[in-house]
A and B are shown apart, each in its own frame.
Chain A
């Protein structure tokens, strides 16, 4: 095998394990990757982009709802619930965790806490999005170089 490919592979797996180690992703993402096969080659990317789409929509909605004078916490809760569900589905662990706190504040009807959490969620989301995009980029590079994506 090409040494460049090997290099890339190593980089990719290092990067991946850093993502796991830093808690951005969890086991669920591995499972997701395992679901991807010849019959469904872009499964992970598809699902993740769906997640990005969904999350951005939810974050916008959340920002909007929380900006209002009287906050509709039920609505907020439903959004956060959705976000939590989808983030746990792809294994975005840190987002999911913040969502749990978020919902707690929501239960308490604590606007300040909610706003703080919203900010945190946004940060986490941006982080994980960047990380995932980087990961996909690596993978594409690897595929372009003729290697295969190592399964964990």
Chain B
């Protein structure tokens, strides 16, 4: 047993090994496949096409399989059907054969009977009557035999004897199948012709008794049968024929009867010799088959035909309907014992084969399953692809989110740094308290502007930012912005210039605050990154730029403001929609007369933007590099805000930048001219300007000598604004010849510094107001002071203070003396008081003080308390100025921490809301208004002021006229074209200016114009509804140094007469756009 198991176990072990190997191979393959999958099918597209192919192959394969299954099952069913048919057919054939044989045997038995009793006995014991009776009575044995007859062999020699013996002559068989007719007359038949032998019928069953005496050999067919039967010794069949009586098909079976018992191998001749007679039986084949079929089951299902196929070409139907059908049929051969005759049985199913439902359902099932699997596969692949796509998308989003997060963190870090710096300024207050009030103010301002920037971004992000549409003067805005940056540009030694095309209308309707913000932002960036060269702002109309595209490109490369190369500004707007559209078709936007399409370029010669950073320059919080915020400060959202704002103005922004060469930012903005009567407005504007700034110069002619056209263009722009006609020549020789020609009188010659190498330079950006002042001074128009450089600030103070009666209050003698000395120095009439109480007694109305400078911190009664009391007497007559550092800074010598109270000013003032002093000062005010930004101040400031204010940083201060209408009446009466008339809600603005005297540059303010304009000064009113709408401009975050400079009031009144106006002999000013040179001739 054990032994016999061993090989088996071995075999099993082998099998296990093989299986194991196989598994390893498969799993290895699957790893491989995975590996391949990632390696080769890694790319999505390849993978996709791969699995699509696979899917198609899969579907095709399974369709083929299901078709094959269908075919296979069908053929199986057919085969089975065939088999069934064959077996049934064979069975029937066999049975028929058997039945027939039985009948045949009976006939043969009859032949033996005759042989025994007719031929064996002599005389015969059988006659016709006996035979007929016998056959009739034994007919049940031969149910299929309709009748039997016996014909005896008669040789010719025996004919006569035979005929005598029988009593009838041998008759010839009629032509037409005589055997089967019952009613023909035997007598009428003619006797058989003489032949060698005869076979007359002697016995016949009653049913066919009419054939008696007919010679069987005389019928053609019967003769054949007879001859074949006696030769073969077997039963012989005739071809089927129709039986007369029953009209059924039948055959005649013929047996030979022999004299002696012949051996089975007897020759035909022997048989012929031994023949005695012939026995024939008529078979009813049809009923035979019918009976047989009735005996069998399932007769309904098949159709049976029996044919005599002796002549294979013309089979004779023996049974069955003659329906030709190509369908399935089975043929079984029948052997009825006659070797000559051939019979066969053909079987067919009655019904057509049923539909192969099983095959159909199976194959369809397979197909469905395969398709389902394919679908699942497809869905899975799709799912995988989708998930993968999602995954990539998520990854991308994640990356972006991370980048945004990083940017935001950087932003936060920067912001917190930016917040901390001014905060430090605030916190430092603890140490040096009041000294740093000013710091706090400036810090607060910086903080507020920073927060505003952040809020802007937030507003833009939430889509809440809306632009307003008010009338504004674009030139004035650019003047302001320029002045804002002039300090910084001077520090760095960078030229700053602006040029506005004549075609740009005086006034536009739009959002000046936002426009200013964009420009401030771009210029702020430029100034941050520019250490040498220039920053040049150009404002033109889009149409104008488009017209001059070709012309300018040639000039651009060399001819720049400072001579440094710049980035091509065409590239900065090359991708603008406006241009690409308009080059082909004139856009509707441009053609409409109301719409003004302005294009502004800010060109600098700074460090440029690194190429890799250029793509994200407009992304919020993205700075060029982390070091940028460290070096230059800023939050990195300025440009993105600008982009949004430009978008809101229906414009576009773009830039061109070349590292180490510079950047040019260009944006377009769409404004409207607003009112329909443009010309009227223009006239109005021109009148206004000329009346306020440049009336003195109207009609004058100036000659500019400057080889550089861009610079000359800028100069010309500014000078023309003053109403002066300008001519430009490139060099001095031409200039001299021009002056010499004497066609027109040249009032002024302006010679560029390069041309006239002089070192007496005022380093200031060229602005109309500045120019006006210089020209005023130079040409003897307006009010001027002949002064030395060093004395200029003092002089401006002198005009402020001269003749004023001022009360100075301080408990500190030294301070008091110094302050008094200082104020006296500037011509003020000073009265001193050493405490609050004394001040009160002096200020008790009626009094004639113009102003009161009071220390805040004093024993007994401090400045606040005193102010409160004074204000209680007459609310109209007081204004409280926080002196902090600023007054001291202004005058350099007056002690700190003063309050100034003046009776002349009918204002109650408040400070920054962020100002730590505000809360304490609030008691002086009826209304505390949020700080007012410079841009909205500008709006309300009359024209003359606007240019004046360019010298100062206009800061904050709002006051409200609560008092009676006396002053307002006066304002209204003299309102004229100034800005105060525009705002009629009774709120007044006091402007605090940083006079910036301490920053050292002697030429930073021009006393002449200060005087001239101050005397015309009005305090304009600020419209209430505009107050909130404006954001402050975005000044560069001031350094600590700048924070120290604080706003001071310009306390100008309208009743102080101008001081002496010594005439100047200056007739020539030599300028370039950034430098003013004045020479006294």
Chain A contacts to B: CB under 8 angstroms: 27-28, 31-32, 35, 37, 39-40, 43, 46-47, 50-51, 53-54, 78, 81-82, 85-86, 88-90, 100, 104
Q: List 14 A-B contacts (CB under 8 A).
A: A31-B892, A32-B818, A32-B893, A35-B893, A37-B825, A40-B821, A47-B818, A54-B813, A54-B814, A85-B814, A86-B812, A86-B814, A89-B815, A90-B818
Cβ contact within 8 Å between A47 and B817: yes
Cβ contact within 8 Å between B859 and A78: yes
Q: Does any Cβ of A come within 8 Å of B210's Cβ?
A: no
Q: Does any Cβ of A come within 8 Å of B188's Cβ?
A: no
> Given the interface contacts A35-B822, A43-B821, A47-B821, does A86 sit within 8 Å of B815 by beta carbon?
yes
In the bound assembly, the distance between CA atoms of A88 and B859 in angstroms comes to 19
Please encode chain B, from 411 to 432, with 1 for each CB lying within 8 Å of some chain A CB and 0 for all others: 0000000000000000000011
**For residue B813, which residues in chain A have a CB less than 8 angstroms away from its CB?**
50, 53-54, 86
Please encode chain B, from 844 to 884, with 1 for each CB lying within 8 Å of some chain A CB and 0 for all others: 00000000000001010000000000000000000000000
Q: Does any Cβ of A come within 8 Å of B824's Cβ?
A: yes
Q: Does any Cβ of A come within 8 Å of B895's Cβ?
A: yes
Cβ contact within 8 Å between B812 and A35: no
Q: How far is the CB of B431 from chain A (nearest CB, A)?
A: 7
Cβ contact within 8 Å between A27 and B817: no
Most A Cβ at <10 Å: residue of B814, B817, B892:
B814
Q: How far is the CB of B740 from chain A (nearest CB, A)?
A: 46
**For residue A82, which residues in chain B have a CB less than 8 angstroms away from its CB?**
811-812
> Given the interface contacts A27-B892, A35-B822, A40-B824, does A85 sit within 8 Å of B432 by beta carbon?
no
Cβ contact within 8 Å between B431 and A100: yes
**For residue A50, which residues in chain B have a CB less than 8 angstroms away from its CB?**
813-814, 817
Q: Does any Cβ of A come within 8 Å of B896's Cβ?
A: yes
Known: A32-B821, A35-B818, A89-B814; 18 extra A-B contacts, CB below 8 A, are: A31-B892, A40-B821, A40-B825, A43-B821, A47-B817, A50-B813, A50-B814, A53-B813, A54-B812, A82-B811, A85-B810, A86-B814, A88-B895, A89-B818, A89-B893, A90-B814, A90-B818, A104-B431
Cβ contact within 8 Å between A31 and B893: yes
**For residue B818, which residues in chain A have a CB less than 8 angstroms away from its CB?**
32, 35, 47, 89-90
In the bound assembly, the distance between CA atoms of A90 and B812 in angstroms comes to 12
A85 is contacted by which of B821, B824, B892, B895 (Cβ under 8 Å)? B895
**For residue A104, which residues in chain B have a CB less than 8 angstroms away from its CB?**
431
- Return the 6 tightest CB-CB contacts between A and B, nearest first: A86-B814, A31-B892, A31-B893, A89-B818, A85-B812, A51-B814
**For residue B895, which residues in chain A have a CB less than 8 angstroms away from its CB?**
85, 88-89
**For residue B432, which residues in chain A have a CB less than 8 angstroms away from its CB?**
100
**Interface SS of A by simple majority:** helix
In the bound assembly, the distance between CA atoms of A141 and B818 in angstroms comes to 25
Chain B contacts to A: CB under 8 angstroms: 431-432, 810-815, 817-818, 821-822, 824-825, 857, 859, 892-893, 895-897
Cβ contact within 8 Å between B892 and A88: no
Cβ contact within 8 Å between A28 and B814: no
Cβ contact within 8 Å between A85 and B815: yes
Q: How far is the CB of B995 from chain A (nearest CB, A)?
A: 15
Q: How far is the CB of B682 from chain A (nearest CB, A)?
A: 49
- In the complex formed, the residue of A with least CB distance to B895 is A89
**For residue A47, which residues in chain B have a CB less than 8 angstroms away from its CB?**
814, 817-818, 821
Cβ contact within 8 Å between B431 and A88: no
In the bound assembly, the distance between CA atoms of A47 and B857 in angstroms comes to 21
In the bound assembly, the distance between CA atoms of A51 and B817 in angstroms comes to 10
**For residue A35, which residues in chain B have a CB less than 8 angstroms away from its CB?**
818, 821-822, 825, 893
Q: How far is the CB of A62 from chain B (nearest CB, A)?
A: 15
- In the complex formed, the residue of B with least CB distance to A78 is B859
- In the complex formed, the residue of A with least CB distance to B818 is A89
**For residue B810, which residues in chain A have a CB less than 8 angstroms away from its CB?**
85
**For residue A90, which residues in chain B have a CB less than 8 angstroms away from its CB?**
814, 818
In the bound assembly, the distance between CA atoms of A27 and B857 in angstroms comes to 24
In the bound assembly, the distance between CA atoms of A133 and B821 in angstroms comes to 21
Q: How far is the CB of A74 from chain B (nearest CB, A)?
A: 10
Q: How far is the CB of B819 from chain A (nearest CB, A)?
A: 8
In the bound assembly, the distance between CA atoms of A127 and B1078 in angstroms comes to 47
**For residue B811, which residues in chain A have a CB less than 8 angstroms away from its CB?**
82
> Given the interface contacts A31-B893, A88-B896, does A46 sit within 8 Å of B825 by beta carbon?
no
In the bound assembly, the distance between CA atoms of A82 and B812 in angstroms comes to 6
A81 is contacted by which of B431, B857, B893 (Cβ under 8 Å)? B857
**For residue B812, which residues in chain A have a CB less than 8 angstroms away from its CB?**
54, 82, 85-86, 89
Q: How far is the CB of A49 from chain B (nearest CB, A)?
A: 10
A28 is contacted by which of B431, B857, B893, B897 (Cβ under 8 Å)? B893
Q: How far is the CB of B718 from chain A (nearest CB, A)?
A: 35
In the bound assembly, the distance between CA atoms of A47 and B813 in angstroms comes to 9
**For residue B815, which residues in chain A have a CB less than 8 angstroms away from its CB?**
85-86, 89
In the bound assembly, the distance between CA atoms of A18 and B124 in angstroms comes to 194
**For residue B817, which residues in chain A have a CB less than 8 angstroms away from its CB?**
46-47, 50
In the bound assembly, the distance between CA atoms of A90 and B810 in angstroms comes to 15
**For residue B859, which residues in chain A have a CB less than 8 angstroms away from its CB?**
78
**For residue A51, which residues in chain B have a CB less than 8 angstroms away from its CB?**
814
In the bound assembly, the distance between CA atoms of A141 and B893 in angstroms comes to 27
**For residue A81, which residues in chain B have a CB less than 8 angstroms away from its CB?**
857
Q: How far is the CB of B446 from chain A (nearest CB, A)?
A: 25
Q: How far is the CB of B889 from chain A (nearest CB, A)?
A: 11
Q: How far is the CB of A124 from chain B (nearest CB, A)?
A: 16
**For residue B893, which residues in chain A have a CB less than 8 angstroms away from its CB?**
28, 31-32, 35, 89
**For residue B857, which residues in chain A have a CB less than 8 angstroms away from its CB?**
81
Q: How far is the CB of A34 from chain B (nearest CB, A)?
A: 8
**For residue A86, which residues in chain B have a CB less than 8 angstroms away from its CB?**
812-815
**For residue A40, which residues in chain B have a CB less than 8 angstroms away from its CB?**
821, 824-825
**For residue A32, which residues in chain B have a CB less than 8 angstroms away from its CB?**
818, 821, 893
**For residue A28, which residues in chain B have a CB less than 8 angstroms away from its CB?**
892-893
In the bound assembly, the distance between CA atoms of A89 and B859 in angstroms comes to 19
Q: How far is the CB of B1044 from chain A (nearest CB, A)?
A: 13
**For residue A53, which residues in chain B have a CB less than 8 angstroms away from its CB?**
813
In the bound assembly, the distance between CA atoms of A88 and B811 in angstroms comes to 15
In the bound assembly, the distance between CA atoms of A28 and B894 in angstroms comes to 10
**For residue B822, which residues in chain A have a CB less than 8 angstroms away from its CB?**
31, 35
Q: How far is the CB of A134 from chain B (nearest CB, A)?
A: 20
In the bound assembly, the distance between CA atoms of A74 and B814 in angstroms comes to 21
In the bound assembly, the distance between CA atoms of A85 and B818 in angstroms comes to 11
**For residue A89, which residues in chain B have a CB less than 8 angstroms away from its CB?**
812, 814-815, 818, 893, 895
Q: How far is the CB of A80 from chain B (nearest CB, A)?
A: 12
In the bound assembly, the distance between CA atoms of A27 and B889 in angstroms comes to 11
In the bound assembly, the distance between CA atoms of A100 and B822 in angstroms comes to 25
In the bound assembly, the distance between CA atoms of A126 and B288 in angstroms comes to 167
Q: How far is the CB of A120 from chain B (nearest CB, A)?
A: 17
- In the complex formed, the residue of A with least CB distance to B826 is A35
**For residue A27, which residues in chain B have a CB less than 8 angstroms away from its CB?**
892
Most B Cβ at <10 Å: residue of A28, A35, A43:
A35
In the bound assembly, the distance between CA atoms of A25 and B818 in angstroms comes to 16
**For residue B825, which residues in chain A have a CB less than 8 angstroms away from its CB?**
35, 37, 40
Q: How far is the CB of B856 from chain A (nearest CB, A)?
A: 11
**For residue B814, which residues in chain A have a CB less than 8 angstroms away from its CB?**
47, 50-51, 54, 85-86, 89-90
In the bound assembly, the distance between CA atoms of A28 and B892 in angstroms comes to 7
Q: How far is the CB of B80 from chain A (nearest CB, A)?
A: 118
In the bound assembly, the distance between CA atoms of A78 and B855 in angstroms comes to 14
In the bound assembly, the distance between CA atoms of A32 and B811 in angstroms comes to 19
- In the complex formed, the residue of B with least CB distance to A86 is B814
Q: How far is the CB of B626 from chain A (nearest CB, A)?
A: 37
In the bound assembly, the distance between CA atoms of A85 and B810 in angstroms comes to 10
In the bound assembly, the distance between CA atoms of A37 and B826 in angstroms comes to 12
In the bound assembly, the distance between CA atoms of A106 and B822 in angstroms comes to 32
Q: How far is the CB of A96 from chain B (nearest CB, A)?
A: 10
Q: How far is the CB of A33 from chain B (nearest CB, A)?
A: 10
In the bound assembly, the distance between CA atoms of A89 and B888 in angstroms comes to 10
- In the complex formed, the residue of B with least CB distance to A90 is B814
**For residue B892, which residues in chain A have a CB less than 8 angstroms away from its CB?**
27-28, 31
In the bound assembly, the distance between CA atoms of A31 and B893 in angstroms comes to 6
Q: How far is the CB of B858 from chain A (nearest CB, A)?
A: 10
